[in-house]
Amino acid sequence: MALSDLFGDLHLFVRWMHVISGITWIGFLYFFNFVNVPLQAVLDDAGKKAVNAKLMPRALWWFRWGAMFTFIWGMILFTLVYMYTPGRGFGPSAVFLAEGGGISARAHWIMSGMLLATIMWFNVWFLIWPAQQKILGGKAEAGELPGLRRRAYLASRANTYLSAPMLFAMLAPSHFGAFDAPVWLLTVVVGCGLIAHAIMFSSKVGTSV
């Protein structure tokens, strides 16, 4: 019954917050890479000034804070599932440890996803956002702008490629079995291939054939 198990209710609430924050983050990541990048390529300087002044500050706010709250709720969720046992307290839980010792396949998958997600979070807050702050705030000199735009673009593209294997690794603990290097490598290759196809396809959407 709802509210009869406070730990279970807390777990559900934290998981929901993690998922909704992640949808916001990845949704804006895909918007920037699949919609905004092709759009910026066809806008002239006047168009960019008219569009970006209204669009980018708001979109980047949701983007960076989606990343931050996904990271925070994710760390809390990892603690609740893998590093806490009701009645026993903090420490590796039964789902973190494999039978006979060592780390379980489930924990391997989730920590692999967490590693990629942490890299993505770092890129947002320490590469993309600082560059965009300078660009949108008019604090960058003319000579700096190409480098700042390139840095933000490459970090955003890297995050887009990392997102597919990251999401697979996040879902794998509940829906997949063993963890091993060949499967993980295949996940990365297939995921990056799908993202590459989506990027190439996105530049053709809305154009005449």
Mean pLDDT, contiguous 10-residue spans, the chain (209 residues): 76 97 98 93 87 91 98 98 95 93 94 97 97 86 88 96 97 88 93 94 70
Tokens encoding 16: 């929901």
121: its two tokens: 């979070």
Does a structural domain hold residue 209?
no
How many separate helices (H) and strands (E) can be counted in the chain? 7, 2
- Domain that residue 110 falls in: 6-202
* CB 198, CB 37: distance < 8 Å: no
Q: Has residue 82 been placed in a domain?
A: yes
- Residue 81 falls inside a structural domain: yes
Contacts of 209 (CB under 8 A, 6+ apart): none
What is the structure's pLDDT at 137?
A: 85
C-alpha–C-alpha distance, residues 82 and 101, integer Å: 15
Considering its fold, how many domains does the chain have in total?
1
The DSSP H or E segment spanning 84 is strand 84-85
The answer to whether residue 1 is domain-embedded is no
Q: Is residue 207 part of a domain?
A: no
User: What is the Cα–Cα distance from 195 to 200, expressed in whole angstroms?
Assistant: 9
pTM equals 0.91
